[in-house]
Chains A and B, each alone.
Chain A
Amino acid sequence: MSSYSFDYLDHLESEAIHIMREVAGQFERPALLFSGGKDSICLVHLALKAFRPGKFPFPLVHIDTGHNFPEALAYRDALAEKIGERLIVRQVGDTIQRQQLTEPKGKFASRNALQTYTLLETIEEFEFDCCIGGARRDEEKARAKERVFSVRNEFGEWDPKQQRPELWSTYNGRISKGENVRAFPISNWTELDVWNYIRREGIELPSIYFAHDREVLVHDDQLIAVSDFIQIEAGDVVAVKKVRYRTVGDMTCTAAVESHAATLDEVVNEIIATRISERGETRIDDRVTEAAMEDRKKNGYF
């Protein structure tokens, strides 16, 4: 008998690797949803630990809204190139044309909800039976309820009242034709866990996670990057500020935070000190209603 101590990050890491290998062992055609954001960057790092020196048993898939930060897209391409894994990119813009979808209108018109259409198209195109995603239960209270293996029907819909019991570390990935599974290896990680892990592992991130000068629109206490995708009107307050991003989604619906944190240590210290949640501070799309995320998930959002 020996004794040793195991840090909580070791527990979370091993649990995530275990879940990824369960996906690899149970599914014929899985995929890893990769956006170039910090959570999916962690997933790629975990996949390297789970499968090297072998190849990943899944491609990386990015559902590109066309409204992404150029820094995140450059990072995405460079990472896929560096690790030599297949990257599939599908454009929400193409789906909008093909399916003649109506784009949301308004000042910060977001394609976030339309991503679901492209995701479902892509799942059909490649016959993916499982998509690994970087969602965390601490993000939002509907997510706090979701299983690690979340079964979706052929429309991608989540039925929160009919979730399969999920016991121990035993994951039931059996599905019927047309159904698919969303698997969430970092379900039990918090935002701070992700940052601590990135710091511990020395994982490289896109530059927008660190403080930089940016022209932003100041709107309702939120700072929105000035880009071609938002409308600037007379009377809008536009300023150059020192900011960083806490999450990286679309340029239209992700707000920046004012910060001088230029290193990982400084970012982690700011996250520890913050009194506002990640989604509350940076996501415009969750402010709509109390059940915004529950509704989107029911409709097939990842």
Chain B
Amino acid sequence: MDLLRFITAGSVDDGKSTLIGRLLYDSKSILVDQLEAIERQTKNKANGEIDLALLTDGLRAEREQGITIDVAYKYFSTPKRKFIIADAPGHIQYTRNMVTGASNSELIIVLIDARQGVVEQTRRHSIIASLLRIPKVVVAINKMDLVDFSEDVYNNIVIDYTQIAAKLGLKDVTYVPISALNGDNIVDKTDSMPWYKGLPLLEFLETVEIAENINLSQGRFPVQYVIRPQTEELHDYRGYAGKIISGTYKVGEPVTILPAGIQSTVDRIEHNFKDVTVAHAPQSIVLHLTDDVDVSRGDVIVPTAFLPKQSNELEVLLCWMDTKPLLSGNKYQLQLNSSRVRAVVKNIEYKIDVNTLENIPFDGSVKLNEIVKATIRTAVALPYDSYADLRANGGAILIDETSNITVGACMIQ
């Protein structure tokens, strides 16, 4: 059984909680006592209806305000697949939390209220999907029951969204008309919309191809930790512990250690307490080299045949996530996988208006949740891949050295 991680963004009004509640409920992932707890809580409220949002909003402040503030992770499985939902907020002031949820997702469900069509929030969520390079987009056109299951309404929304997708370069978009409240086209195909020829939502999620985003050609192995037992019997043992984030490693393969550029060869690969001849992403392994060379945490071991780019000047799309503004010239720590180096934001070219998708001139400072195109200079020439080519080696975070907070997300161009 494989695993699909997907994100839904939005708030109670969009029907997001109802949709998630429906997926959990219909896959029997909501248990009796959890339902009872919701019922108990609902009794304290005025309208008396069972509120599935109470299931997803985990913090007191969220329940009180009826909004989602931070990502909650929800789990369910069907006989075909295991799912991890990043249930993320949709409001603009919590964009950084949505970005957190989006970064590990292979699919996004963009919810559109059929009565309202494409709105500002739709555009914002889509630009984040594009920025974070979520490979697949499902546009769930919800509340179809409130527009008499009209095919025309559906078609007009598809036409509008197709333009956004084209502008943002979202290539893999699927449209599903649903009613989360009634369960139309969620688990089973509904009779109310015979004009819809596609799969119901859950069946689509169960069958959508996801294997392609484990890249099998470009080997990337960031060293996390060096294992050196220094005991009598393991006196010369020196193993490089890490996770293969992309590609395949084979015993006997020539490799290069970056950023230094030292050449060596894979001597041994250990996985699961055993020696293996081949290992693949995303396995965590211990790698041994034939030569006694200097390798430490933060280095990346790559097959010499598939070298990444390397530079101390990175062109990035940067999402700013701190309440203090970003100022051009400020210094930060930049962390790309296990490697952390000092960095300075040198030049900010333009801002991206997340509502209109237009580029707008840089006006001196970058505020919370703004997205800019910038150049970052690093103290060491870093090995990297373009985020568009290889998500696993093209996304970096910026850390404020004084507060230690993660303040920026960089998608390297």
Does chain A have a CB within 8 A of B21? no
Report Cα–Cα, A132/B225, bound state, in Å: 17
Report Cα–Cα, A176/B399, bound state, in Å: 13
Q: Which of B1, B103, B214 contacts A168 (CB 8 A)?
A: B103
B58 touches A7 (CB 8 A): no
Contact stretch, chosen from A18-26, A101-109, A115-123: A18-26
Residues of B within 8 Å of A174, CB to CB, are: 333, 399, 404
Chain B's closest residue to A48 (CB) is B273
Q: Which of A8, A54, A291, A294 contacts B2 (CB 8 A)?
A: A8
- Interface of B: prevailing SS: mixed
Contact stretch, chosen from A67-75, A140-148, A229-237, A253-261: A140-148
B284 touches A8 (CB 8 A): no
Contact stretch, chosen from A89-97, A202-210, A269-277: A269-277
Chain A's closest residue to B400 (CB) is A174
Does chain B have a CB within 8 A of A82? no
Report Cα–Cα, A166/B99, bound state, in Å: 9
Report Cα–Cα, A280/B237, bound state, in Å: 48
Report Cα–Cα, A25/B296, bound state, in Å: 10
Contact stretch, chosen from A36-44, A156-164, A238-246: A156-164
Report Cα–Cα, A170/B99, bound state, in Å: 13
Distance in angstroms from B2 CB to nearest chain A CB is: 6
B284 touches A168 (CB 8 A): no
Report Cα–Cα, A169/B244, bound state, in Å: 12
Residue with the highest number of chain B CB atoms closer than 10 Å, among A54, A175, A276, A281: A54
Q: Which of A6, A55, A168, A291 contacts B104 (CB 8 A)?
A: A168
Does chain A have a CB within 8 A of B67? no
A3 touches B2 (CB 8 A): no
Interface range for A:
35 or more
Residues of A within 8 Å of B217, CB to CB, are: 1
Does chain A have a CB within 8 A of B22? no
- Interface of A: prevailing SS: loop
Residues of A within 8 Å of B272, CB to CB, are: 49
Residues of A within 8 Å of B126, CB to CB, are: none
| Contacts known (A51-B227, A275-B31); A141 close to B404, Cβ less than 8 A | no
Does chain A have a CB within 8 A of B397? yes
B397 touches A172 (CB 8 A): yes
A172 touches B406 (CB 8 A): yes
B59 touches A294 (CB 8 A): yes
A21 touches B284 (CB 8 A): yes
Task: Fill in one digit per residue for B99-123: 1 if any A CB lies within 8 Å of its CB, else 0.
Answer: 1100110000000000000000000
Chain B's closest residue to A10 (CB) is B283
Task: Tally inter-chain residue pairs, CB-CB below 8 A.
Answer: 175
Does chain B have a CB within 8 A of A153? no
Report Cα–Cα, A169/B5, bound state, in Å: 13
Chain B's closest residue to A52 (CB) is B273
Does chain A have a CB within 8 A of B343? no
CB under 8 Å from chain B, chain A span 148-197: 160-161, 163-170, 172, 174-176, 187-188, 190
| Contacts known (A145-B71, A167-B395, A276-B33); A53 close to B335, Cβ less than 8 A | no
| Contacts known (A51-B241, A277-B34); A25 close to B72, Cβ less than 8 A | no
Chain A's closest residue to B84 (CB) is A188
Q: Which of B104, B216, B337 contacts A3 (CB 8 A)?
A: B216
CB under 8 Å from chain A, chain B span 335-378: 335-338
Distance in angstroms from A2 CB to nearest chain B CB is: 7
Distance in angstroms from B317 CB to nearest chain A CB is: 13
Distance in angstroms from B140 CB to nearest chain A CB is: 22
Does chain B have a CB within 8 A of A137? yes
Residues of A within 8 Å of B32, CB to CB, are: 275-276, 280
Residues of B within 8 Å of A98, CB to CB, are: none
B31 touches A167 (CB 8 A): no
Residues of A within 8 Å of B91, CB to CB, are: none
Distance in angstroms from B88 CB to nearest chain A CB is: 11
A-B contact pairs, 22 of them (CB 8 A): A3-B216, A18-B224, A21-B242, A21-B243, A25-B225, A49-B273, A50-B241, A51-B241, A53-B237, A137-B75, A141-B55, A144-B72, A145-B59, A160-B61, A161-B69, A167-B406, A174-B333, A277-B31, A277-B34, A280-B33, A290-B41, A294-B59
Interface residues of A (CB under 8 A from B): 1-8, 10-15, 17-18, 21-22, 24-25, 48-55, 57, 137-138, 141-145, 160-161, 163-170, 172, 174-176, 187-188, 190, 274-277, 280-281, 290-291, 294
For the complex of A and B, the 6 pairs showing the least CB-CB separation, nearest first, are A280-B33, A141-B58, A17-B284, A8-B3, A167-B103, A174-B404
Known: A7-B1, A18-B242, A294-B60. 14 other contacts (CB 8 A): A6-B280, A8-B1, A144-B73, A145-B58, A145-B71, A160-B59, A166-B406, A168-B104, A172-B399, A174-B399, A274-B31, A275-B31, A277-B31, A294-B59
